[in-house]
């Protein structure tokens, strides 16, 4: 294994200092816990000359979670989010998702901002430089083709695997960004653009976030819905420490025998975090096996797992669908 290349580290204390450092070093990269980007640097995937650390920016290290809204700073550690009493009580899917990420050491280092901006993954990409070179590289780095889908016409299908995004999507998550053109807030479902359409009209596994050059994620926010019960579940190869084979966040609201609200979101399946479209049409009716059959159809239509991991894409789609149906059934029973 090669040694890490030389780079400088800047440790700003304020958002203004962060933005100034970004402006002064356009080729810099942000680093929170480094549990993703350092692995990529080690593998020669990227070689930033400067890393700007987010951890000492105290204004980005706060969590507020009341009955109406949750606001989490980008520099909050995953372990802090997972253990936060109000998050566990009011936004259980978010706390459970945070608690399921990697292992305890990663959760103590890894940040919310790093998880939201996690790089997409693929068995042809998350390899050493010599392995990728020996296999002619691929579109996500310097190669000319996609090995997962050789006829992809320039589209990459690398999978988004961050666990937090689907949980925030349940609650209408939004991201506060700051950059050279000022501050803005983007709906989380518009932030992930990895639709991988062959007409190139959207992003893909390489270009998967609607973030502009020099922009920084400041906070993730979401709104509560009274009566909504939520949870997070994932399947992984090694239960103690592993990316999701597939992860599902679900939220259910019940009014007697009627399904009043249903939201389901996924990670580990597509080049974006997926908030399932069409669940509103299943609401306002009694919950039944037909609800779960219709949910199955929605998953089949919208989950686009490819052979980007050790498990076949068809298996991941199936397992994600089964997990979603089980989770929704469990939440329906709990909400009673
Ligand atoms: C063995 C192993 C298992 C893992 N398992 C999981 C898992 O189960 N689920 C999961 O979701 N992840 C997993 N991860 C990935 C990683 O640990 C987590 O996603 C973690 O939350 C990343 O946060 P970080 O602060 O360490 O990110 P970093 O590595 O510091 O950064 C990741 C990316 O985000 C960018 N970034 C960081 N902060 C900001 C910001 N404020 N604004 C804009 N961009 C920013 C960085 O430039 C970089 O591109 C695993 C990693 C390893 C090594
Ligand atoms: S999906 Fe294709 S282009 Fe994207 S990382 Fe994998 S092999 Fe490379």
C-alpha 178 to ligand 1 mean position (Å): 19
Classified by CATH at the fold level, domain 58-118+158-334 comes out as Enolase-like; domain 1 (3.30.390)
- pLDDT at position 1 is 60
- Per-residue model confidence as pLDDT tens digits over 33-47: 999 999 999 999 999
Rounded CA-CA distance 206/218 in Å is: 22
Across the strands, what pairs with 85?
none
How confident is the model at residue 219, as a pLDDT?
Answer: 98
Domain ranges within the chain, ordered by starting residue:
58-118+158-334
112: buried, middle or exposed (CB in 10 Å: 19+, 13-18, 0-12)? Answer: buried
Please state the pTM of the whole predicted model.
0.97
Percent over 90 (pLDDT), the chain: 91
Give the position, in ligand 2's atom list, of the atom nearest the Cα of 120. Answer: 5
Determine the angle formed by the axes of helices 289-302 and 313-334, rounding to 10 degrees. 150
Tens-place pLDDT, residues 96-111: 999 999 999 999 999 9
pLDDT tens-place string over residues 199-226: 888 999 999 999 999 999 999 999 999 9
Within 10 A of 257 (CB to CB), how many other CB atoms are there?
Answer: 10
Which pLDDT belongs to residue 321?
A: 98
CB atoms within 10 A of CB 288: 12
For residue 218 and ligand 1, the question of a CB distance below 6 A is answered with: no
Cα(77) to centroid(ligand 2), Å: 30
């Amino acid at each position: 294994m090669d040694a890490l290349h030389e780079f400088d580290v800047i440790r700003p204390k304020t958002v203004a200092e962060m933005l100034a450092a970004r402006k002064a070093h356009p080729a810099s990269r942000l680093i929170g816990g480094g549990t993703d980007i350092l692995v990529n640097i080690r593998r020669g995937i990227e070689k930033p000359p400067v890393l700007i650390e987010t951890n000492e920016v105290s204004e980005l290290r706060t969590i507020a979670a009341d009955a109406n809204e949750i606001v989490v700073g980008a520099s909050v550690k995953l372990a802090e989010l997972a253990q936060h009493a109000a998050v566990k009580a009011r936004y259980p899917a978010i706390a459970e998702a945070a608690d399921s990420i990697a292992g305890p050491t990663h959760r103590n280092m890894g940040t919310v901002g790093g998880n939201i901006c996690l790089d997409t993954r693929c068995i042809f990409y998350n390899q050493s430089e010599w392995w990728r070179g020996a296999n002619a590289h691929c579109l996500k780095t310097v190669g000319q083709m996609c090995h997962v889908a050789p006829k992809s016409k320039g589209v990459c299908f690398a999978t988004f695997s961050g666990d937090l995004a689907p949980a925030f999507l349940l609650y209408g998550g939004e991201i506060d960004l700051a950059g050279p053109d000022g501050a803005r807030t983007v709906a989380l479902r518009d932030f992930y653009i990895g639709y991988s359409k062959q007409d190139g009209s959207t992003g893909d596994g390489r270009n998967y976030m609607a973030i502009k050059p020099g922009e920084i994620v400041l906070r993730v926010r979401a709104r509560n819905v009274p009566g909504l019960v939520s949870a997070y579940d994932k399947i992984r190869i090694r239960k103690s420490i592993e990316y999701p084979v597939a992860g599902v966040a679900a939220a259910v609201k019940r009014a007697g025998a009627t399904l009043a609200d249903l939201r389901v979101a996924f990670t580990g399946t597509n080049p974006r975090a997926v908030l399932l479209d069409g669940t509103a049409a299943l609401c306002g009716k009694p919950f039944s096996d037909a609800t779960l059959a219709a949910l199955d159809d929605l998953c089949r239509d919208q989950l686009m797992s490819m052979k980007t991991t050790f498990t076949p894409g068809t298996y991941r789609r199936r397992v994600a669908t089964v997990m979603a149906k089980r989770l929704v059934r469990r939440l329906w029973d709990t909400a009673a």
